[in-house]
Structure 1
């Protein structure tokens, strides 16, 4: 997010229903839809990404909206009202297929390096998770913020990180961690798995109570 640490975010995973109209779909999303959403006042910034992991079954696209405010239920209603109006005004595209929407409020501090705000964001690595031991939730959060995120940033593969908690009543994992890289996101994740994760595991710096419910590797497309 290029040095920004928003109070909350909304993630929208999408695909284009007609692959023959993929180019038109992307032009509409970048030049019409995200500007419409930002003009509607429900988000401060919008960034689009494409799935960078050819071996995953993840949706082709991710739209990341940065939000101002922590009343996620109210923001969700404002999004719904805006989309209804855009439909009425003929500014939506029939080929848009929404696979999943989720909203998250920021958790913990701002996880930065000396490159935060200077390095561009070429891609993101996203981990959605829960704690598998309900009586160790505090330990889990302390490990994530004091050990795990600093360890990942310490590899030099990622320049910024964010942690969020799911909106109440939302399906899926309870927590979301997002890591920004200025390089190829798939290469960064593979390098971490190959060269760093084994050493962290041997040193006892990984957690046995993390339940990963979803992960995504996405490369940047556009930002507004």
Structure 2
């Protein structure tokens, strides 16, 4: 397994944020600073972080403003590395290392939507490289799922994710379970996360894929508990950059045009 490949590691640290600047020059500067200064500092301070990929919101949830304008996903290679990060970030303010600022843009114009660590449950196939876009869906089982949880989990993993991947024409689908929510608005962080990867995420392709999913009539119904699940958010993001931890002199950021 290539530990640097997107969505190939057991743990994923998600950060959703908004950037208040709208001037194209400010946005470009923000993206350069994030990729060229902030991400390397994160790698330097957290050895278990092996790659970062960044996304811009492409298609919001039709139900409202439920997702940040930008999304960063850090690949974490082991349970020890994930636990070490959580222990460090939960320490008192004086014990946490600071990061370089870039006034007046960083951090003054940044607002976090969520900071969450998810753990991989299953995947339809190994990583096929950096996807052009991703469709992410937060899912919660019904509050009274009780003894039905095992059937819910089995259906979600073995039937629904492969089926959604096939119907939507996605290259890959990956399921995650919540490990720890550091920050998330009410009513709380989804218990489960699905990430569907799209090879070519032009606006036309994303809209066509969404229409296909909405019109599909071949969905397997699943157990009664599945029929009562909720989706706190459904969001489409397009890749901005993929940044592997540099293990050799040719390690470099890969940016999307």
Q: CA 1:70 to 1:31, structure 2 compared with 1: closer, same or farther past 3 Å?
A: same
Q: Which residue in the other structure is 2:201 paired with?
A: 184
Q: CA 1:84 to 1:212, structure 2 compared with 1: closer, same or farther past 3 Å?
A: same
Does the 8 A contact of 1:9 with 1:64 survive in 2? yes
Q: Which residue in the other structure is 1:19 paired with?
A: 22
Alpha-carbon distance, 1:59 to partner = 1.4
Alpha-carbon distance, 1:99 to partner = 1.9
Q: CA 1:3 to 1:22, structure 2 compared with 1: closer, same or farther past 3 Å?
A: closer
Query: Are positions 1:210 and 2:213 aligned together?
Result: no
More helix by share: 1
Q: CA 1:101 to 1:169, structure 2 compared with 1: closer, same or farther past 3 Å?
A: closer
Q: CA 1:84 to 1:23, structure 2 compared with 1: closer, same or farther past 3 Å?
A: farther
Alpha-carbon distance, 1:195 to partner = 2.7
TM-score, with length taken from structure 1: 0.82
Cα distance in 1 for partners of 2:210, 2:76 equals 31
Cα distance in 1 for partners of 2:32, 2:74 equals 18
Cα distance in 2 for partners of 1:208, 1:185 equals 32
Q: CA 1:188 to 1:165, structure 2 compared with 1: closer, same or farther past 3 Å?
A: farther
Cα distance in 2 for partners of 1:182, 1:42 equals 27
Cα distance in 1 for partners of 2:145, 2:69 equals 34
SS state at 1:199 partner: coil
Alpha-carbon distance, 1:97 to partner = 2.1
Taking the TM superposition and a 5 Å limit, the aligned residue runs for 1:70-219 are 70-71=79-80, 72-79=82-89, 84-87=96-99, 90=101, 93-94=106-107, 95-107=109-121, 109-112=122-125, 116-117=127-128, 120-132=130-142, 133-135=144-146, 136-155=148-167, 157-168=169-180, 171-184=188-201, 187=204, 190-197=207-214, 198-201=216-219, 204=221, 207-219=226-238
Measured on the aligned residues, the alpha-carbon RMSD in Å equals 3.0
Q: 1:64 aligns with which of 68, 73, 76?
A: 73
SS state at 1:104 partner: strand
Q: CA 1:3 to 1:161, structure 2 compared with 1: closer, same or farther past 3 Å?
A: same
Cα distance in 1 for partners of 2:181, 2:132 equals 32
In structure 1, list runs of 5 or more residues that go unmatched.
none
Q: Which residue in the other structure is 2:239 paired with?
A: 220
Alpha-carbon distance, 1:186 to partner = 5.6
Q: Which residue in the other structure is 1:34 paired with?
A: 39
TM-score, with length taken from structure 2: 0.73
In structure 2, list runs of 5 or more residues that go unmatched.
183-187, 244-257
Cα distance in 2 for partners of 1:176, 1:8 equals 12
SS state at 1:75 partner: helix
